[in-house]
Chains A and B, each alone.
Chain A
Amino acid sequence: MTLKEDVSRWWARLKAGPVWITSSLRAWIWLRACDEVGVNTRTFWRPNIENRGRIVLGSRVRLNSHWAPIELVSGPLGVIEIGDGVYINYGSMISAHLLVRIGSDVMIGNYCIVADTEIPGIGEPHGGPSIEPRPVDIGDGVWLAARVTVLPGARIGAGAVIAAGSVVAGDIPPGKVAGGIPARILRAI
């Protein structure tokens, strides 16, 4: 990174004002429900976090909840692992009853849903049949565009790009652009 880029980035952050400057402090307050939070993790506006299992955030994670809040939900046995340098845009939901693993440098667009049960979130009727969770694995450097739904059991390879509005079921190989309902490989990057 050149000095010029560095300066312009910091200038943009200064202009962004209190939201950027206080975002680390806010992360410390708003992410207190998480089990582990890495350094330099920032939240912009307030996410909804319901942690009954385990939520681990890496370092340099940025959560943007500006226009619609992000929801991170883990059930009693659920684990959410989010790697380093992940960016999650507003309105997304990540729900784990077993395991949702998100690699490092993943970019998740707005209104995405990543869940390892068919019905995300907590709110099963008492005594009803339990929903079988299947773990979700998203590799490093994956880019989920806006409104992508990742179904239970999906595995997305490193560096894959999922087009807007897709529904991902099954495996997506690394380094491919996939899209559609259900998502199919469109081309290589």
Chain B
Amino acid sequence: MTIRSTWNAARARRWLRACASVGEEPYLAGKPTIDSHGGQLRIGNRFRLVSRPVASHLVAGPGAVLHIGNDVSISYGAAVAALQHVHIGDGTRIGPFVIIMDTNFHGASGDQSIQHDCRPIAIGDGCRIGSRVTIARGVTIGDGAEILAGSVVSSAIPPGVCAAGGRARIIGRAGDLRSRWDGAAAILPDILMASLGLNSPPDLDSSPIPTHLWTEARMKCVLGAIEDRLRVMLDPAAAREIETFADLAATLQDALWECQRHALGPPTASTRPI
């Protein structure tokens, strides 16, 4: 129990005092606006809310429920308003300046009287929501979906997909577009070290692969390990042409791109409107 953790706990207790329930170890940076006007804010364990440099706000209307699961983190400038029901699942991460509101607050054609025609929002577990995403009322986002930055989500997003656009459409599977090559590049030296029997992980530069190691059997072993660890299959004929470690990395990168292009599917794939 350090001074810092005590201070953080006290700050969280103060700023989250409007919540109906708060889990363990919440962490708040900056000063958010958190109001429950007769509604319920239920917050899970290890909640993380950033309000620097722009304050975030979580607001529940009368009789509304704003449910935030475990391990949720929300970045700065976020606006979450529930006048009926907003559910944010476990492990979801939300970027800066995101707007999640289950109501429009008013009518059209200059009708500024407050209207509570709400439709609940449900965001699944393990979603990643990029910066400046706007989530309209009545939207359901499936588990593990990924919404890219700047999108406006106005229709349901199925689980495990990656969606983007001014009216968010499915553009691939979640995790394809981000850091798949980075992840591969990080573990490729280890794969090569294990399957080629090297003493240290090789650099992925233009140094040649020793010819006595690049035999048919070893090659098969390397391709098998890559398929096993990275879920991508390299062409054995192309692998025979490889002379340097950099060639191998480039071939792998091409294969990952090909894989991704295949996953994107035809450009007409769109989400199902509610």
Interface residues of A (CB under 8 A from B): 66-68, 85, 87, 104-107, 110-111, 140-143, 145-147, 159, 161, 163-166, 175, 179-181, 189
State which of B12-20, B83-91, B106-114 sits at the interface with chain A. Answer: B106-114
B152 touching A105, Cβ below 8 Å = no
Residues of B within 8 A of A147 (CB): 99, 132, 134, 152
Shortest CB–CB separation between residue B164 and chain A, in angstroms? 12
A66, A145, A159: the one within 8 Å of B109 (CB) = A159
- By a CB distance below 8 angstroms, the chain A residues around B154 are 163-164
Between A and B, how many residue pairs show CB distances below 8 Å? Answer: 67
Q: How large is the interface on B (under 10, 10 to 19, 20 to 34, 35 or more residues)?
A: 20 to 34
B55 interface residue per 8 A CB criterion: yes
B112 to chain A, nearest CB (A): 6
Question: A68–B108 contact, CB under 8 A?
Answer: no
Q: How far is the CA of A181 from the CA of B111 in the complex (A)?
A: 26
Indicate if the CB atoms of B97 and A111 lie closer than 8 Å: yes
Q: Is the interface of A mostly helix, strand, loop or mixed?
A: loop
A159-B108 contact, Cβ under 8 Å, with A147-B132, A147-B134, A166-B166 = yes
Most chain-B CB neighbours within 10 Å: which of A67, A110, A159? A67
- Residues in B8-67 with C-beta less than 8 Å from chain A: 33, 54-57
A143 to B166, CA, bound (A): 18
How far does the Cβ of B171 sit from chain A's closest Cβ, in whole Å?
A: 16
Q: Tell me whether A165 and B55 are in contact (CB under 8 A).
A: no
Q: Bits for B141-172, please: 1 = Cβ < 8 Å to A, else 0.
A: 00000000011101000000000001100000
- Chain A residues whose C-beta falls within 8 Å of the C-beta of B79 in the assembled complex: 67, 110
With A107-B112, A141-B111, A163-B152 already in contact, 20 other A-B pairs whose C-beta atoms are closer than 8 Å: A66-B33, A66-B57, A104-B110, A105-B110, A105-B112, A107-B110, A110-B79, A141-B109, A141-B110, A143-B106, A143-B108, A145-B104, A146-B134, A159-B108, A159-B109, A159-B110, A161-B108, A164-B136, A165-B166, A189-B108
